[in-house]
Structure 1
Amino acid sequence: MTNPRPLAELQRFRRARAKRRWYRRSFRLQVMLLVGLLLAGMLLAQGTYLNHRKADIISHQMGERALAVAKTVAGMPQIVSAFDTPDPSMIIQPLAERVRLETGARYVVVGNAQSIRYSHPVPERLGEAMVGGDNDQALIYGQSYVSKATGTLGTAMRGKTPIWDEEGNIIGVVSVGFMMDRVEMDVARYTNLGWALVALMIVLGFAGAYWLSQHLKRVILGLEPYEIARLAMEKEAILQSIHEGILAVNRDGHITLVNQQARRFLNLPDEHVLLGQPIQEVVPNTRLLEVLRHGEQEFDQQMWLGDHPAVVNRVPILHDGEIEGAVATFRSRREIIDLSQALTQASRDVDMLRAQAHEFSNKLYTISGLLQLKRVEEALALIHHETERAQKQMSFLMRHVADTVLSGTLLGKLTRARELGVAMEIDEQSSLACPLTATGQEVMMSVVGNLLDNACHAALNGPNGDSPKVRLFLTDLGEQLLVEVEDNGPGVPEAHAESIFQEGFSTKTGKHCGIGLSLVARLCRQHGGAVTLEESELGGACFIAVLDRSLCAAP
């Protein structure tokens, strides 16, 4: 039987999770409420302040208006002269009432020095004392002022001023009042428009907040904030964990992203130091700027990054047809190259051993035949000759070529040439006094190896095929490395002089042709040099490869 308690807890958990999900997914509602409430609060605060100030101004203006009417009445000659008559109210009452009706005041009261009324909107109250107790400033001190007091007609905004006779004596007071309910009505009439505008602006603010939330939702591709945060964390984890190096730049060529593998691969400083730096200063031989200019994708391009061979992909970042930046991904070819070098070296060793075995087996058969024929002296002479020749080659390479890897390559090529029947010689003026870096060894083996292989093939297929010759000259004197390989083959037709360095182009027949010279040209360009074609003194082609001296190790 199922326990109901865990089931109820599970249901509560699901309901709470659903509520959290609704809250987390209501980004549009959150933006609309946040912006709308913030705008409404600001508008309400501003509207309250402005309407309060407007009410104060209207009240002040009403008081000033009452005071102006009072001063006008107090200055009327008829009012002043009426105080000398036996019944001043007979003259003052009609004048005061006319002024009250014309100005819209609630009352215009004129009193004598004892605050006895000579005019009042209610005739029955004539002759009675004025109510409010605020006449002293006018009657005693002769001041004109605005006050708020409650009289027989109610609370009013009053303007009071004294009445002076011709000798400058205070003989009475004028009090003009506007009822506070009317003042409040006037205030409400003027402030209602302000509140209506505030309400309209709040409605428009919520409408704008709704549009803004819609727009932000489209901009972030319909994602919620927590989804964006999760994607950002996932992206960062992926970028830092993948084996390939990644570099991204903006449209100005400044670095915007670099992952851990790229920094380790290029031996770069901390990521925060790199961000915002021009890519040309960090990776001088990058082609990301060309990708930014032309917007063309480049895949599986080989290049050297420092001392590391790499395969690079470069693609532009496009948005609405505009180039916003570019991304380069690269992976090291070191492991593949190390394996390829090992296999190549093993293949060379096998070829060299096979050639030596073939050559020395013939020599051994010859020596065996000479011994059987009892020609010992001739057999010894042959042995001494072969030994001297081998030692001479080894001694020359040891004296003139400081790099052992390149020496081994040249020795293998000499042996291979002898097997093919090609007379290969190394110019006696050749010299490589400095050992090579790991990159330099690889580059020189590729350049020298491909040039010698092509020269041997050309010499064997030339007009002097019965006596093929190949000559090698190399030197590191000066600021560059120079490699010169010439043969007595048929040469290169003038029509093919430019296209012979293009990948895939070859004058040979068969598969896997058109790679060697294009590889040599690319390596020379990548390392500050070039390869050129000239006519050889031997009658065939002469290839001159120039490389930067930085491939040599420091002495």
Structure 2
Amino acid sequence: MRRTRLTLAGQILMLQLVVICGVLVVIAMISVRQSTETFQATRGSAMRSVAEYTSNVAVVRDQIDEPGATRALAPTVDRGLQLSGATTVAIADAGGTIVASSDPREVGTRAVLGDSRIGEGRGWSGDLTINGVRVVAAHAPVIGDDGSVLGFTIATQAYPRLWDRITDETTDLAVFLGIGALAGGLGTWWVSRLLKRRTRGLGSAEIATLADHREALLHSIGEGVVAVDPSGRVTLVNDGARALLGLQGVVIGRPVSSLDLPEDVRRLLGDHDDAHDEVVVVGDRVLVVNRRAASSHGRGIGSVTTMRDRTELVSLQNQLSSNLSISDTLRAQTHEFANRLHTISGLVELEEYDELAQLLGTLTRERADLDARIRDRVEDPAVAALLVAKSSAATEVAVRLVLHDQAHLPAVAADLSADLTTIIGNLIDNAIDASRGHEPAQVEVMTGVVDQDVVVTVTDTGPGVPDHLRDTIFVRGFSTKPEVLGGRGIGLPLVRVIATRRGGRVDVVHTGEHGARFEVRVPLVAPSPHTVVTGAASR
């Protein structure tokens, strides 16, 4: 037989009933304790009064030490018992032996004193256990005419049984039970309606299944997902986001501002406006981030940010840019050498040997001068070779490439040399394109080392960069479109990504009608991860 599963509302009802029963048990315990304390206070006072009354009766002082004390004091003991409602009233001599008692079985036995100091003539009241019964007791001294302690009186009353104390509170407990049951029923009805509306009518099993599927889906996808509530606290982060952002420890529930991330990344995650294809560099990773505002029934509930790793794509773009630059340079040099070979061939056919010798001498000197000028200022062989090749490419399009007189670059590490060739090559290519058709058409390159940073400055004589484009020129070319990978739109964005990954920066330090100057600073030694730059990107 299939077991019927309780609905979510039924489960909540059962839980509430358990809670109500627990509350009633606690109330019963409190009531019993309060009744016990009340009994101890009121009956303790009454027992003290009985004991003091009995000890002050004259016959007690006269007969307590006499052989017939039991018979002589019996009326006094009975009178004290009748007046107070005590369980027992007894009289003991100075040695603690009971000489008269309302319970004849106690006569001749030793009185149970507990922590009473009645032997010193001090009255006392408190709890005692006599023959296994808990009682509230009081002791009062019997003082002789000469001030000596002749004995003491005892008044006790047994505590009522626990069941009697509970049944005394039955009426109150019944009232509490009725109120609790009514409140529980109404609360369960309201909660069940609220849950049905909030959970779209799904049961607990369906909700658990959806939660399991959501967790499996979020943590199995390679893209990073981060959800943030309106107050800026992280409500969801999957394994992909942890890996891409380098997050450690407990993240969910923490404010975005407290995460160990650069400020720009925290601001990007904490905003609730839509953002499309923002480029973020975190450590050695290049991420493309999209953010979408989340809402429910027209009410904003935060934002969801997704991120994709595009590090490999940028690496491929870097290699492609270098290959395109090399191929363009080789093509320019081939074209230049072909033109010179045609000139030499014509002079040979015309038998103008003097002119041929003069031309060869001039070409040799120009090349030697160029090589020597670059080699003297640029000690890194890869960068020097790049400048020589770019000089030929610039000459082909009637642009003069000039190396600044104070330029200097020492030999650097192989990885930095490779990045510098990409940076300088892309900056020169953009400067040559900008300078073509302008007078004078010139590109000036300045290199140097300042405060352990390699500084590269490329200045052109083109139309300049408008102020409103000074940021977008570095990001608008980032794209995964095939035509972009074909060689357009990746130059300046690639320069910025490479500089940023190495802990440096690239700036347009001069704009206007007479050209632009781009300055790149990269450390000689790459810093540790967690450097960031953001910008718009196109698909």
Per the shorter chain, which TM-score range? 0.5 to 0.7
With over 3 angstroms needed to count, the CA separation of the structure-2 counterparts of 1:421 and 1:308, relative to structure 1, is same
Displacement of 1:202 after TM fit?
2.5
List aligned pairs for 1:381-400, cutoff 5 A: 382-383=359-360, 385-390=362-367, 392-394=369-371, 396-397=373-374, 400=377
In the alignment, the residues of structure 2 paired with residue 52 and residue 551 of structure 1 have an alpha-carbon distance, to the nearest angstrom, of 76
Residues 321, 201 of structure 1: alpha-carbon distance in 2 compared, 3 angstrom cutoff: same
Q: Is the 8 A contact 2:234 2:252 kept in 1?
A: yes
Judged with a 3 Å threshold, the aligned counterparts in structure 2 of structure 1 residues 193 and 420 are, in CA distance, closer, same or farther, namely closer
Distance of 1:381 and 1:53 partners within structure 2 = 123
Which digits, 9 at most, give the CA deviation of each residue in 1:309-365, with x for residues without a partner?
A: 221223455578777655443222222223333333333333223222221112112
Task: Tell me the equivalent position of 2:467.
Answer: 498
Question: 1:143 maps to what in 2?
Answer: 80
- Aligned pair 1:312/2:274, yes or no? no
Distance 1:519 1:341 in 2: 7
Amino acid at match of 1:456: I
Q: Which has the higher contact order (CA 8 A, sep 6+)?
A: 2
Aligned pair in 2 of structure 1 residues 420, 56: CA closer, same or farther (>3 Å)? closer
Give the equivalent residue in structure 1 for 2:64: none
Give the aligned partner of residue 14 of structure 2.
33
Question: What is the alpha-carbon distance in structure 1 between the residues aligned to residue 334 and residue 378 of structure 2?
Answer: 26
Q: Give the 5 Å matches for 1:347-496.
A: 347-376=324-353, 378-379=355-356, 382-383=359-360, 385-390=362-367, 392-394=369-371, 396-397=373-374, 400-401=377-378, 406-407=383-384, 409-433=386-410, 435=412, 448-449=424-425, 451-464=427-440, 468-478=441-451, 480-489=453-462, 491-492=463-464
2:308 alignment partner in structure 1: 331
**Do the aligned partners of 2:409 and 2:449 also contact (CA within 8 Å) in 1?**
yes
Tell me, in whole angstroms, the C-alpha distance in 2 between the residues paired with 1:281 and 1:193: 54
2:321 aligned to which of 335, 344, 352:
344
Separation in 1 of the partners of 2:278 and 2:189? Answer: 49
CA, structure 1 residues 420+207, in 2 after alignment: closer, same or farther (shift >3 Å)? same
In structure 2, the residue matched to 1:98 is: none
Distance 1:42 1:254 in 2: 36
Q: Matches of 2:295 and 2:74 in 1, distance apart?
A: 82
Q: Which moved more, 1:404-413 or 1:425-434?
A: 404-413
* In 2, Cα distance between equivalents of 1:344 and 1:274: 41
Equivalent residues in 2 for 1:81-230 (5 A)? Answer: 138=75, 142-145=79-82, 146=85, 191-192=170-171, 194-215=173-194, 218=197, 222-230=201-209
Task: Find the counterpart in structure 1 of residue 144 from structure 2.
Answer: none
Percentage identity across aligned positions?
25
* Change beyond 3 A, Cα 1:37–1:447: same
TM-score by length of 1: 0.59
Aligned residues: 421
1:249–1:279 CA contact under 8 A, matched in 2: no
Shift in CA distance, 207/335, structure 1 to aligned 2, threshold 3 Å = same
Residue 262 of structure 2 is aligned to residue 284 of structure 1: yes
The answer for the alignment partner of 1:541 in structure 2 is 515
SS at match of 1:234: helix
The aligned counterpart of 1:107 is none
Greater percentage in helix: 1
Question: Quick one: structure 1 residues 55 and 480, their matched pair in 2 at CA, closer, same or farther if it must change by over 3 Å?
Answer: closer
Distance (Å, rounded) in 1 between the aligned partners of 2:446 and 2:181: 87
What is the TM-score when the length of structure 2 is the normalising length?
Answer: 0.60
CA RMSD of aligned residues (A): 5.3
Deviation at 1:533, TM superposition (A): 1.7
Q: Distance in 2 between matches of 1:488 and 1:345?
A: 24
The 1:253/1:45 distance shift into structure 2, 3 A limit, reads: closer
Change in Cα spacing, 1:352 to 1:283, as seen in structure 2 (3 Å) is same
Which structure is larger by alpha-carbon Rg, 1 or 2?
1
Question: In the alignment, what sits opposite 1:241?
Answer: 220
User: What residue in structure 2 maps to residue 71 of structure 1?
Assistant: none
- SS state at 1:282 partner: coil
Can you list the C-alpha shifts for 1:393-441, whole angstroms capped at 9, x where unaligned? 4555555446566555534432221111212121232223363786895
Task: Work out the CA distance in 2 between the residues paired with 1:307 and 1:402.
Answer: 28
Question: Structure 2: which 5+ runs fail to align?
Answer: 50-72, 88-101, 103-163, 475-482, 529-539
User: Does structure 2 retain, via aligned residues, the 8 Å contact 1:524–1:531?
Assistant: no
